[in-house]
């Protein structure tokens, strides 16, 4: 498997709020985590952030800073999801010889004429006028985000905000670190001369937690509920990683954990099997396996809502190109299915990523580990959105 395996787009989060962090876009990353050498640091960043930046730089075909000038949402070619094309006027590029204007395609968006929107819980969202630092890669003729929301930093008042990581850092401290990692990748010649020898300022503001703006979408209340259907269409079922019952039980157990929160008025209910092999807007909440490739995250939740912000459908796809285990004894290279689905069902509830590494809604899940028990941040989060 990849040395760095991502899922919930996002990546490591480090800073927890005492109240829930709710976001419109978020990713779970699965990693075979190994500490990145501290000697690689160009500025005193957290080790989690340094690992993340290293991963972003390694995967990026372009790193650019610019301003969002237009956002257009539309149905995908097969009408399975809503996507957006984001036009960015480039201020400068750090690798890739950036053009004056770039168009980035990202999952999620809102169609005003149809009164329907979709949030891809690990994708970056954009607004016209934003100044951003983004890490992108080329897919065919299109530009896509590296690791979804993880690859977007919002620039305001000389600070870089990553809402998926729930952190803020001085741009003077962040940029030299990125340039240093570009240099170590062997691409220094692509960095504009003026940026090649950046050094962090002595007064660079330290890493700080930020509060992620709450999403307004939620399931209809009181007594919010969502019945879901499962397609056990994984090619991995039947070997030592678990039979059909084990895979089904792992998914159901993940949902049941959220139902067990006594202070929350919410119920996820297993309703049976589905034959669907692709997620899409069909009025049915579905969990299924799809082949997404190793460059995608391991699993992702997609949430559909109406003009009044009421959620009307949610789906989860599980990337069958990752190694899954449903027995509770994953190997060092396998992802525990129940742990991953517990996190993704949390996104159905519109929970974002928490900064407490012990929380289920922390953005990184290491392969070979179990994370099957809700923690206080998770419990406070669902209780705040759906109070009993």
Query: Does the structure show a pLDDT above 80 at 1?
Result: no
Query: Does the structure show a pLDDT above 80 at 337?
Result: yes
Q: How far apart are CA 267 and CA 227, in angstroms?
A: 8
Query: Does the structure show a pLDDT above 70 at 351?
Result: yes
Q: How far apart are CA 378 and CA 369, in angstroms?
A: 18
**End-to-end CA distance of the chain, in Å?**
43
What pLDDT was estimated at residue 157? 86
Mean pLDDT computed over 29-53:
50
381 closest CA partner among 222, 266, 270, 226: 266
Break the chain into its structural domains and give their ranges: 29-209, 224-385
What pLDDT was estimated at residue 39? 28
**Predicted TM-score of the model (pTM):** 0.80
Q: Which residue has the higher pLDDT, 116 or 148?
A: 116
What pLDDT was estimated at residue 173? 81
- Relative to beta strand 152-156, strand 142-145 is unpaired
Give me the residue label for tokens 């990026």.
60
Same CATH fold assignment for domains 29-209 and 224-385: no
The two structure tokens encoding residue 72: 């257009």
The CATH code of domain 224-385 reads 3.40.390.10
Q: How far apart are CA 365 and CA 344, in angstroms?
A: 12
In this predicted model, what pLDDT tens digit does every residue of 296-315 receive, in sequence order?
A: 889 999 999 999 999 999 99
- Relative to beta strand 335-336, strand 324-325 is parallel
Pick from 40-44, 201-205, 209-213, 234-238: least confident? 40-44
Give me the residue label for tokens 């009408």.
79
Mean pLDDT computed over 199-208:
48
Query: Which pLDDT band, with edges at 50, 70 and 90, does 239 fall under?
Result: confident
Cis omega before residue 222 (within 30°)? Answer: yes
Q: Quick one: fold of 29-209?
A: OB fold (Dihydrolipoamide Acetyltransferase, E2P) (2.40.50)
Alpha helices in the chain (DSSP H): 47-59, 171-184, 244-259, 337-348, 376-385
């Amino acid at each position: 498997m990849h040395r760095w395996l991502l899922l919930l787009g996002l990546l490591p989060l480090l800073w927890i709020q005492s109240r829930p962090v709710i976001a419109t876009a978020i990713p779970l990353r699965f990693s075979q985590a190994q500490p990145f050498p501290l000697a690689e640091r160009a500025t005193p960043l957290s080790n989690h952030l340094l690992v993340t930046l290293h991963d972003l730089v390694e995967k990026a075909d372009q790193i650019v800073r610019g301003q969002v000038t237009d956002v257009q949402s539309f149905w995908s070619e097969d009408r399975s999801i809503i996507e957006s094309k984001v036009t960015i006027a480039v201020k400068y590029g750090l690798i890739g010889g950036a053009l004056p204007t770039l168009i980035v395609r990202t999952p999620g968006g809102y169609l005003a004429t149809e009164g329907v929107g979709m949030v891809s819980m690990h994708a970056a969202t954009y607004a016209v006028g934003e100044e951003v630092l983004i890490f992108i890669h080329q897919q065919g003729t299109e530009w896509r985000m590296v690791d979804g929301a993880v690859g977007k930093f919002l620039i305001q008042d000389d600070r870089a905000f990553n809402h998926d990581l729930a952190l803020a850092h001085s741009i003077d401290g962040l940029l030299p670190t990125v340039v240093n990692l570009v240099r170590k990748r062997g691409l220094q010649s692509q960095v504009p001369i003026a940026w090649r020898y950046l050094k962090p300022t002595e007064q660079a503001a330290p890493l700080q937690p930020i509060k992620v703006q709450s999403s307004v979408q939620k399931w209809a209340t009181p007594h919010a509920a969502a019945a879901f259907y499962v397609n056990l269409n994984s090619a991995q079922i039947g070997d030592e990683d678990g039979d059909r019952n084990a895979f089904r039980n792992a998914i159901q157990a993940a949902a049941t954990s959220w139902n067990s929160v006594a202070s929350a008025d919410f119920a996820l209910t297993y309703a049976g099997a589905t034959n669907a092999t692709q997620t899409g807007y069909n009025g049915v909440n579905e969990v299924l396996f799809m082949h997404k490739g190793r460059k995608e995250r391991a699993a992702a939740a997609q949430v559909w809502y109406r003009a009044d912000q009421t959620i009307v459908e949610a789906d989860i796809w599980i990337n069958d190109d990752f190694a899954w285990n449903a027995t509770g004894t994953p190997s060092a290279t396998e992802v525990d299915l129940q742990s991953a689905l517990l996190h993704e069902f949390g996104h159905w509830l519109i929970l974002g990523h928490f900064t407490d590494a012990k929380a289920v809604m922390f953005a990184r899940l290491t392969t070979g580990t179990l994370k099957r028990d809700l923690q206080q941040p998770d419990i406070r989060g669902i209780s705040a959105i759906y109070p009993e």
